[in-house]
């Protein structure tokens, strides 16, 4: 009773409402989170989750390719991640005759599992707090440059003190904006094979229409396997490699979840900025997001028109369209969410509280006004930066060809022919792949529209003068870059003449002039301001932690291993509407639109549904759960993360967030921020009943923790 009470008191004191906010460092769980997690229903200890002395949950959590998360679900290195995380690999094994995207793929035995050159799986051996060592000698009087160079030296010294195997790495990362440093010792496996994937009609069900949307019915999963050398250590691909034997793998719960159940999500979130001042969030909502949204909307409108007109174009542009549309949609939800939850007003109120808590002689007195002044100074530049990066850096595909050409030229001129040839040999396969999915007509129309927007909105002074009145048509006609044939023939010439021709190419010259103008007028000055902002952000973080010593602060995401926990919970997307937290197979059938590329359903799935052939993969009422949501605080990079129950079993697979709460990257709000997970039972149902891959089911540990 006493410890129960003291936990309650502690929680009230910390001003937490079991909300789910925070991405916590596994190493610090014991001191910061264990009590609260157990209070919320967790039956595990911090040591069960992260330990360097015994196998713990962390030994099953794997950074997939450096951009997603995955987890080990068998004693033979079977790896579960999202379909959208393995999309590139699945696509690369696909052809018109053997279309894995369309039909799915299931290796019948280990021999049939498909190798994926370049794909890696990274495990975390150990996390070490190295703050003292990295910040040794650093003083507040130092200039930013001096500070950075001392930190770099300290990192190098730390690294040289470790005796690592060639497959290991020691990565040091700043936390709390450079107030603390943690080191990660990692082991990276490099023979990762594709084991199975459902067809897109399951793995990408709902596609862009349902992306970021709840209620959701996507079976966004795929299976891979880690292979190791005979000593269980990382090795290059070889037929003699064997399935990796993990220190821990996650059992899978057949009991699933109910509203209110504890959930833990373990993975590698990419980037959040929770401690920005109100001035910065205001800039995002008022300036950056509207600009970026408008640009992408224009580009997407043009691509969509061509995709609808022609099936071949649709296939060519599907993946590019999805990528551009993903963040376009996210930013719209983000801005709406910040407004709806009064995110800026809340930050302002908090800043008032902070300011009035400072003593009269506090060194932090002017911090917030310095922030505001700098953001104000930055604002017009940030607007051009966002325009330039979206227009030139992202949506006009020709610009990518220009930057490749530029690198070829500069390699040749600065480092000689060998360097040119090295880069060229890498870039040719890339170009072949690029042109396969490139349509110069579409790009030309995007170019015309976006450049017009750019000139109208940011002004001619940021655009190379000589092409003020740009004529996209003659421009695309006269450059070699927009044509595979012309470009490849140019590159087949001897280096010297290829470089000479590139330098005279109208697109090349235009791109170079644009970039130089941008760098001088915007790039350099804004870098200078960002540098100062970074430093202020570090000081602000420190000031917050000193001013509110009783509050718990979690570090912003930085692609390192984190834990977030919450509960299964619905939310109100708008007034008077309540979303419940679990979807079912019936909902897939409700959304079914025969022949539609987003909402089609395979005959096999329809048949299973008709016959109610669900096996052991239903809830208590006999329905097959498909997806569920929770209050776990996740971001990009958390895709593929396991959702884990109170006992340490896998209950789901994280893959998205609900649209209304995508502002969680700046302003987590428990009322509407929800992560979306595929229910593990849907995954098992698809593997067992739809794919008939029973050998994989046998390989897994299926458990019933609630019936114990
Ligand atoms: N919104 C999810 C994330 O940010 C899924 C994206 C992949 N799916 C898609 N339809 N684009 O990664
Ligand atoms: N869909 C994201 C990912 O791929 C996850 C998110 O942004 O919530 O990592």
Q: Are 191 and 226 in contact (CB under 8 A)?
A: yes
Q: Residue 75 has what pLDDT? A: 98
Residue closest by Cα to atom 6 of ligand 1: 326
Phi and psi at residue 271, to the nearest 5°: -155, 130
On whether both 442 and 338 belong to a single domain, the answer is yes
Residue of 21, 44, 71, 40 whose CA lies nearest to 268: 71
On whether both 317 and 361 belong to a single domain, the answer is yes
Whether ligand 1 lies within 6 angstroms of the CB of 676 is answered as no
On whether both 498 and 615 belong to a single domain, the answer is no
Q: Which ligand is nearest to the CA of 83?
A: 1
Q: Residue 318 has what pLDDT? A: 84
Task: Indicate left, alpha or beta for 702 from its phi (over 0: left) and psi (-120 to 50: alpha).
Answer: beta
Pocket test for ligand 1, best of 639, 657, 662, 675 (most atoms within 8 A of CB): 639
* CA–CA gap between residue 611 and residue 685 (Å, rounded): 14
On whether both 533 and 570 belong to a single domain, the answer is no
Residue closest by Cα to atom 7 of ligand 2: 636
Whether ligand 1 lies within 6 angstroms of the CB of 326 is answered as yes
- Give the distance (Å) from ligand 2 centre to CA of residue 654: 8
On whether both 488 and 596 belong to a single domain, the answer is no
Whether ligand 1 lies within 6 angstroms of the CB of 211 is answered as yes
Report, as residue numbers or ranges, the catalytic residues.
Answer: 84, 220, 639
Give, in degrees to the nearest 5, the angle at Cα 496 between 490 and 500. 65
* CA–CA gap between residue 535 and residue 178 (Å, rounded): 9
- Give the distance (Å) from ligand 1 centre to CA of residue 143: 41
CA distances from 668 to 330, 483, 635 (A): 15, 46, 11
Whether ligand 2 lies within 6 angstroms of the CB of 211 is answered as no
Residue closest by Cα to atom 4 of ligand 2: 639
Q: Are 248 and 55 in contact (CB under 8 A)?
A: yes
- Give the distance (Å) from ligand 1 centre to CA of residue 676: 11
Q: Residue 465 has what pLDDT? A: 66
Terminal CA-CA length for the chain: 25
On whether both 512 and 627 belong to a single domain, the answer is no
* CA–CA gap between residue 429 and residue 427 (Å, rounded): 6
For the CA of 657, the nearest atom of ligand 2: 8
Residue 41 lies in a domain: no
Q: Are 266 and 57 in contact (CB under 8 A)?
A: yes
User: Which residue range forms the structural domain that includes residue 332?
Assistant: 278-541
For the CA of 634, the nearest atom of ligand 2: 8
Q: Residue 7 has what pLDDT? A: 42
Pocket test for ligand 2, best of 65, 210, 657, 659 (most atoms within 8 A of CB): 657
Give, in degrees to the nearest 5, the angle at Cα 600 between 595 and 602. 110
- Give the distance (Å) from ligand 1 centre to CA of residue 61: 21
Look at residues 511, 541, 571 and tell me which one is the last residue of a structural domain.
541
On whether both 529 and 602 belong to a single domain, the answer is no
For the CA of 208, the nearest atom of ligand 1: 10
For the CA of 657, the nearest atom of ligand 1: 1
On whether both 475 and 439 belong to a single domain, the answer is yes
- Give the distance (Å) from ligand 1 centre to CA of residue 656: 7
Residue 83 lies in a domain: no
In three-state secondary structure terms, 141 is: coil
Pocket test for ligand 2, best of 67, 206, 331, 635 (most atoms within 8 A of CB): 635
- Give the distance (Å) from ligand 2 centre to CA of residue 336: 19
Residue closest by Cα to atom 1 of ligand 2: 656
Pocket test for ligand 1, best of 65, 82, 84, 655 (most atoms within 8 A of CB): 84
Residue 375 lies in a domain: yes
For residue 365 the two structure tokens come to 């007195």
- Give the distance (Å) from ligand 2 centre to CA of residue 639: 5
Whether ligand 2 lies within 6 angstroms of the CB of 330 is answered as no
Q: Which ligand is nearest to the CA of 329?
A: 1
Pocket test for ligand 1, best of 212, 326, 627, 664 (most atoms within 8 A of CB): 326
- Give the distance (Å) from ligand 1 centre to CA of residue 324: 10
Quick one: CA torsion of 683, 686, 688, 693, rounded to 10 degrees?
A: -100
Whether ligand 2 lies within 6 angstroms of the CB of 638 is answered as yes
Q: Which ligand is nearest to the CA of 206?
A: 1
For the CA of 638, the nearest atom of ligand 2: 9
On whether both 485 and 634 belong to a single domain, the answer is no
* CA–CA gap between residue 329 and residue 211 (Å, rounded): 8
Look at residues 541, 576, 605 and tell me which one is the last residue of a structural domain.
541
* CA–CA gap between residue 226 and residue 119 (Å, rounded): 10
β-pairing, 702-703 with 252-253?
parallel
CB count within 10 Å of CB 356 equals: 7
Half-sphere exposure (Cβ direction) of 608: Cα atoms closer than 13 Å: 24
* CA–CA gap between residue 702 and residue 274 (Å, rounded): 38
- Give the distance (Å) from ligand 2 centre to CA of residue 522: 31
Q: Are 57 and 248 in contact (CB under 8 A)?
A: yes
Residue closest by Cα to atom 11 of ligand 1: 322
Residue 449 lies in a domain: yes
CB count within 10 Å of CB 141 equals: 7
For residue 679 the two structure tokens come to 């229910």
On whether both 532 and 568 belong to a single domain, the answer is no
Whether ligand 2 lies within 6 angstroms of the CB of 178 is answered as no
CA distances from 458 to 379, 451, 468, 544 (A): 12, 10, 13, 37
Whether ligand 2 lies within 6 angstroms of the CB of 657 is answered as yes
Look at residues 541, 572, 601 and tell me which one is the last residue of a structural domain.
541
Residue 22 lies in a domain: no
- Give the distance (Å) from ligand 1 centre to CA of residue 57: 26
pLDDT beneath 50, residues of the chain? 1-18
Residue 358 lies in a domain: yes
- Give the distance (Å) from ligand 2 centre to CA of residue 64: 13
On whether both 379 and 473 belong to a single domain, the answer is yes
Q: Are 480 and 501 in contact (CB under 8 A)?
A: yes
* CA–CA gap between residue 452 and residue 467 (Å, rounded): 12
For the CA of 656, the nearest atom of ligand 1: 2
Overall number of domains in the chain:
2
Whether ligand 2 lies within 6 angstroms of the CB of 637 is answered as yes
CA distances from 239 to 65, 188, 229, 659 (A): 21, 19, 10, 44
In three-state secondary structure terms, 168 is: strand
Strands (E), 143-267: 168-175, 180-189, 191-197, 222-228, 242-243, 252-253, 262-267
Q: Which ligand is nearest to the CA of 319?
A: 1
On whether both 530 and 568 belong to a single domain, the answer is no
Residue 33 lies in a domain: no
Residue 101 lies in a domain: no
Residues 445-470 as b or e (16 or more Cβ within 10 Å = b): bbbbbbbebbbeebeeebbbeebeeb
């Amino acid at each position: 009773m006493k410890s129960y009470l003291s936990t309650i008191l502690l929680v009230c004191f910390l001003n937490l409402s079991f909300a789910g906010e925070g991405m916590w460092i596994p190493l610090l769980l014991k001191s910061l989170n264990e009590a609260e997690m157990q209070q919320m229903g967790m039956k595990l200890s911090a040591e069960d989750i992260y330990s360097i002395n015994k196998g713990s949950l962390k030994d099953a959590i794997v950074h997939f390719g450096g951009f997603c998360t995955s987890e080990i679900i068998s004693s033979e290195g079977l790896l579960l991640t999202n379909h959208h995380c393995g999309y590139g690999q699945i696509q690369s094994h696909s052809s018109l005759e053997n279309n894995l995207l369309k039909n799915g793929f299931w290796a019948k035995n280990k021999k049939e599992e498909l190798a994926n050159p370049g794909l890696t799986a990274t495990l975390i051996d150990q996390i070490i707090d190295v703050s003292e060592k990295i910040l040794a000698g650093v003083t507040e009087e130092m200039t930013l440059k001096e500070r950075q160079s001392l930190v770099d030296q300290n990192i190098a010294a730390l690294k040289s003190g470790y005796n690592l195997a060639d497959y290991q790495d020691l990565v040091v990362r700043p936390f709390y904006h450079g107030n603390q440093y943690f080191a990660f010792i990692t082991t990276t496996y490099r023979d990762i094979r594709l084991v199975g994937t459902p067809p897109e009609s399951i793995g990408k069900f709902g596609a862009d229409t349902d992306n970021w949307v709840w209620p959701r019915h996507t079976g966004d999963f795929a299976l891979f396997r880690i292979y190791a050398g005979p000593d269980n250590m990382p090795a290059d691909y070889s037929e003699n490699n064997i399935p990796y034997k993990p220190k821990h793998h996650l059992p899978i719960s057949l009991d699933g979840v109910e509203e209110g159940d504890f959930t833990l999500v373990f993975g590698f979130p990419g980037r959040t900025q929770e401690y920005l001042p109100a001035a910065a969030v205001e800039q995002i909502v008022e300036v950056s997001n509207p600009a970026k949204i408008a640009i992408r909307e224009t580009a997407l409108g043009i691509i969509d028109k061509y995709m609808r007109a022609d099936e071949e174009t649709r296939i060519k542009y599907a993946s590019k369209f999805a990528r551009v549309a993903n963040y376009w949609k996210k930013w719209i939800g983000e801005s709406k969410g910040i407004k709806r939850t009064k995110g800026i007003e809340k930050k302002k109120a908090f800043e008032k509280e902070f300011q009035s808590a400072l003593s009269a002689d506090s060194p932090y007195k002017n911090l917030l006004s310095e922030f505001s002044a700098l953001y104000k100074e930055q604002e017009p530049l940030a607007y051009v930066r966002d325009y330039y990066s979206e227009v030139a850096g992202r949506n006009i595909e020709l610009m990518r060809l220009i930057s490749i050409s530029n690198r070829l030229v500069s390699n040749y001129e600065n480092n000689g022919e060998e360097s040119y040839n090295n880069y060229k040999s890498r870039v040719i396969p890339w170009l072949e792949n690029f042109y396969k999915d490139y349509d110069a007509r579409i790009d030309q129309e995007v170019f015309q529209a976006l450049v017009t927007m750019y000139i109208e909105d940011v002004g001619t002074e940021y655009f190379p003068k000589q092409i003020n009145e740009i004529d996209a048509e003659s421009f695309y006609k006269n450059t070699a870059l927009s044509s595979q044939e012309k470009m490849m023939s140019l590159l087949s010439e001897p280096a010297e003449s290829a470089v000479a021709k590139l330098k005279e190419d109208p697109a090349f010259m235009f791109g170079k002039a644009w970039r130089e103008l941008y760098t001088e007028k915007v790039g350099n000055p804004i870098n200078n301001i960002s540098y100062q902002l970074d430093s202020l952000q570090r000081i602000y973080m420190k000031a917050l932690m000193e001013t509110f010593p009783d509050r718990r602060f979690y570090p912003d995401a930085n692609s390192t291993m984190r834990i977030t926990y919450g509960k299964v919970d619905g939310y109100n997307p708008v007034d008077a509407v309540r979303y419940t937290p679990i979807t079912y197979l019936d909902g897939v059938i409700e959304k079914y639109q025969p022949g539609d590329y987003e909402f089609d359903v395979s005959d096999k799935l329809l048949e299973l549904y008709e016959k109610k052939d669900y096996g052991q993969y239903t809830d208590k009422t006999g329905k097959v759960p498909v997806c569920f949501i929770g209050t776990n605080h996740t971001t990009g990079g958390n895709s593929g993360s396991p959702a884990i129950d109170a006992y340490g079993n896998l209950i789901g697979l994280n893959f998205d967030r609900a649209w209304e709460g995508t502002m969680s990257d700046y302003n987590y709000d428990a009322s509407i921020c929800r992560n979306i997970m595929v229910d593990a039972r849907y995954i098992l149902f698809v593997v067992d009943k739809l794919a008939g891959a029973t050998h994989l089911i046998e390989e897994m540990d299926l458990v019933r923790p609630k019936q114990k």
